[in-house]
A and B are shown apart, each in its own frame.
Chain A
Amino acid sequence: MMFYTVNGAPAYCYTAGKPFDPAKPTVVFIHGVLCDHSVWALQSRHLANHGWNVLAVDLPGHARSQGEAPASVEQAADFIVALLDAVGAPRAALAGHSWGSLIALEAAARLGERATHLIMVGSAYPMKVSPALLDSALNTPEKALKMVTVFSCSTLAPPSGAGFWVFGAGMALGRRVLRSNAQVNLLHRGFTACDSYARGEQAMAAVQCPVLFVLGEKDQMTPPKAAQTLANAARSAGRQVQVVTVPVGHNQMTEAPDATLAALRGFLAQA
């Protein structure tokens, strides 16, 4: 298992068992609230076996990574920048899902030319969280987790191919990540970070690389129209923008794994 010391704490990255190769391009995968690296399982494993260094992180204080769990998008973005420095990656593509998409955006803004591609999956800006859900996340996290998992699924027949049940896997992963940090309620902290992020347009103006949006047509958490503000900001900044819509909900990587991978591969193939 690959750990890097970032800001003095061990940070776990899934690399498909491969060591970092400075000769290869690098892609960083950033998960959303109450998730870990494994939400990118198929996409990260594929790219790691097709010419890329993959760094699919567990954010600090989540799952295998130690350190203080980020309380804001900006703090998490600082971690991503520090991770790349610790790894020794001069440049990297950044891919984020949901909360992770905002972290990728903010990190890309900070990295400037070091960011080669920005991929925002299931994104929205502003990423407001209802007061009721925030309250539930704080006081009844199991109930909030179920609510979020229900809203994230769009089908009773996800195309797992190998008997995985996406709803159950979402619940189990959320519970596991919640248990992984005894000091911090990661669900509430993550949602608060989403809700309070206000630098989206400013950050997009500073991004210097092409931007891909992968949006779920049936996404109830981050509906496609909620990404338009950022897409417009990217276009206004003169960035190349691609929008790919997949016919699923907020679990783009597990409900539409092939379509999501195809979108990523096509976009990353662009220099």
Chain B
Amino acid sequence: MPGYSDPGFDTLALHAGAQPDPTTGARATPIHLTTSFVFESSDHAAALFNMERPGHVYSRLSNPTNAVLEQRVAALEGGVGAIATASGQAALHLAIATLMGAGGHIVASTALYGGSHNLLHFTLRRFGIETTFVPPGDLDAWRAAVRPATRLFFGETVGNPGLDVLDIPAVAQIAHEAGVPLLVDSTLTSPWLIQPLALGADLVYHSATKFLSGHGTVMGGVVADGGSFDWDASGRFPELAAPYDGFHGMVFSEESSVGAFLLRARREGLRDFGACMSPHTAWLILQGIETLPLRMERHMRNTEKVVQFLASHPFVARVGHPLLESHPSHQLAQKLLPRGAGSVFSFDIKGSRAQGKAFIEALQLFSHLANVGDCRSLVIHPASTTHFRMSDEALAGAGIGQGTIRLSIGLEDADDLIADLQRALKAAEKSAAAPTAQAQAQAQAKAGA
């Protein structure tokens, strides 16, 4: 086993949190598919329940395989620890539910994944948590939205799918002036492209379903804590800085100066809401993370080629990637995301919504489905799928038009991806000339009349 000598990102991606199994010598992390763990004695059992000794009790709370994943993500993000959850949405919910209850208020970016927008705008409102949405680049709007009840700022490293880059240092500063933490969704970027905690964010989470696992096989989430936010000094978080009746009056910020959020999230959120991750899922995500640096490099290389192709294609009206100087976040991306702003982006074709549909249906290599961050290339029409619950105004705020198409660039040969896109763009162009079946039927009916 390697010793600790300030290892780099690629080494941490392979080794952080893992060691050969002390019982069997197994080099790969074992999958501990067990609900529970035998106690050494009654005293040991009581000590585990009372957080006096390290170890595992019940896999809803913690599990050895999951703990490896949690340490690994914490290491890659530069955090103090992490918690694996059933999905990215579960990670977001766990973070919010740990920090506030009814009466709480969130200030969030308008440029969010549709599912996150849905949770904040509709579902949490039903539970008494309000959200004010602000354009991610409008720093005055972030500041103006703060209320006495505000408990959290929330945004995505790059907005889905417009790729508005969140100015993490600036937004974090405003959050901290208001006495609240900044939570960042880094799903589309992964820690290989950006480490939000180092830039000032306090909490970061991923849908590990995407780039961390990388193969489109599992659902999972993980939330990491930077340990930087002072819950006591803020005065807004009795959940972490005052005695908690649900755990014998424990004051989490007293138990752990830098891990209070994680303690409460695990001891309350995982315990009571129960959105835990299966150890088998954790293992698959660990498999993915082992090659994360290699995959991300290839994702970025392919994305650059595809973006260049689309940007120069006469049937493409707009390409929304910060690689291009025309993108509003180009300069900020150069500063915060020097390795690239991700391989999920959108573009608009010069044509009708029907032509957009024709484009998607003509693709052969790209898979038409609702996911991103797969090793295979993917395509979807956000306005009618991932973001379909949003109003036109909210869609515009997120940078989505009726003709917008989202791509997730995979690891195939870039030339094959470009050939597929070229063929589909041609098909879309031709479809404008060819009457649709419906139009043909209408024309025939009219002729008959």
Contact = CB atoms under 8 A, between A and B. Distances in A.
B433 to A, nearest CB: 58
A63 B81 CA distance: 21
B81 A165 contact: yes
Given A17-B251, A161-B67, A45 B51 contact: yes
A158 B70 CA distance: 12
A162 B62 contact: yes
A176 B258 CA distance: 8
B228 A160 contact: no
A181 B280 CA distance: 45
B4 A168 contact: no
A146 B56 CA distance: 30
B230 interface: yes
A49 to B, nearest CB: 6
Interface in B47-91: 47, 50-56, 61-62, 66-68, 70-71, 74-75, 78-84
Interface in A146-162: 146, 150, 153-162
Contacts of B15: 156-157
B342 to A, nearest CB: 24
Contacts of A167: 4, 75
B2 interface: yes
A175 B198 CA distance: 12
A165 B75 CA distance: 7
Interface in B103-160: none
Given A45-B52, A165-B75, A156 B81 contact: no
Given A36-B257, A38-B256, A164 B71 contact: yes
Interface in A246-260: 249, 257-258
Chain B contact-residue range equals 35 or more
Interface of B is mostly: loop
Interface string B167-191: 0000000000000000000000000
Contacts of B74: 163-165, 168
Nearest to B12: A156
A173 B62 contact: no
Contacts of A191: none
Contact of B254 (A14, A157, A169): A14
B16 A169 contact: no
Interface residues of A, number: 41
Contacts of B84: 163
A42 B255 CA distance: 9
Contact of A46 (B2, B7, B53, B66): B53
Most chain B CB within a 10 A radius of its CB, from A156, A158, A261 = A156
B4 A153 contact: yes
Interface string B1-26: 11111110000100111110000000
Contact of A163 (B4, B5, B6, B82): B82
Interface string B34-55: 0000000000000100111111
Given A167-B75, A176-B227, A150 B52 contact: no
A163 B54 contact: no
Given A165-B71, A257-B53, A257-B54, A150 B4 contact: yes
A156 B2 contact: yes
A252 B72 CA distance: 21
B67 A169 contact: no
A160 B67 contact: yes
25 contacts: A17-B250, A38-B256, A38-B258, A64-B232, A150-B6, A156-B15, A156-B16, A157-B19, A160-B54, A162-B62, A163-B67, A163-B71, A163-B74, A163-B84, A164-B81, A164-B262, A165-B17, A165-B80, A165-B82, A167-B75, A168-B75, A173-B227, A176-B228, A176-B258, A218-B3
Given A42-B53, A49-B47, A153-B4, 19 more contacts: A17-B250, A156-B12, A156-B17, A156-B19, A157-B19, A157-B71, A163-B66, A163-B67, A163-B83, A163-B266, A165-B70, A165-B74, A165-B75, A167-B4, A168-B227, A172-B80, A173-B257, A175-B228, A176-B228
Interface of B: 1-7, 12, 15-19, 47, 50-56, 61-62, 66-68, 70-71, 74-75, 78-84, 226-228, 230, 232, 243, 248-251, 254-259, 262, 266
**What 9 A-B pairs have minimum CB-CB distances, sorted nearest first?**
A163-B70, A172-B227, A161-B54, A165-B74, A46-B52, A153-B4, A157-B19, A164-B81, A172-B258
